[in-house]
Structure 1
Amino acid sequence: MQYQHKTYSVTEAQARLENYCAYQERCHKEVRQKLRDMNMIPDAIDLIINHLLQENYLNETRFAQAFARGKFRTKKWGKNRIIRELKFREISAYNIKTALKEIPESEYTATFHELADKRLKQLASEENLQKKKKKLADYLLYRGWESHWVYDKVRELTN
Structure 2
Amino acid sequence: MKTNKSAFSLKEIYSKMEYYCAYQERCYKEVEEKLHSFSVNSSEKEEVLTYLIENNFINEERFAQSFVRGKHNYKHWGKNRIVNELKFRNISSRIITIALKEIPEATYLENFHQLAEKNWNNITERKGQKKNKKFVDFLLRKGYETSLIYEKLKELEAGS
Would you call these one fold, judging by a TM-score over 0.5?
Answer: yes
Asked if structure 1 preserves the Cα contact closer than 8 Å seen for 2:80 and 2:145, the reply is yes
| Structure 1 stretches of at least 4 aligned residues deviating more than 3 Å after TM superposition | 3-6
Q: How far apart in 1 are the matches of 2:18 and 2:5?
A: 21
Please show how residues 32-51 of structure 1 align to structure 2 within 5 Å.
Answer: 32-51=32-51
Q: How far apart in 1 are the matches of 2:83 and 2:153?
A: 23
Q: Quote the offset at 1:66 in angstroms.
A: 0.1
1:126 counterpart SS class: coil
Report what 2:91 is aligned to. 91
Q: How far apart in 1 are the matches of 2:132 and 2:103?
A: 28
Q: Aligned letter for 1:7?
A: A
> TM-score under structure 2 normalisation?
0.94
Q: Flag structure 1 segments of 5+ consecutive residues without an equivalent.
A: none
RMSD: 1.3
1:136 counterpart SS class: helix
Size of the aligned set, in residue pairs, is: 156
User: How many percent identity over aligned positions?
Assistant: 46
For the pair 1:145 / 2:159, whether they are aligned, the reply is: no
Report what 2:126 is aligned to. 127
- Kindly tell me: are residues 158 and 128 of structure 1, through their superposed partners in 2, closer, same or farther at Cα, counting changes over 3 Å? closer
1:80 counterpart SS class: helix
Q: Aligned letter for 1:140?
A: L
Q: Quote the offset at 1:157 in angstroms.
A: 2.4
- Stretch moving more, 67-76 or 149-158: 149-158
Q: How far apart in 2 are the matches of 1:151 and 1:140?
A: 10
> TM-score under structure 1 normalisation?
0.94
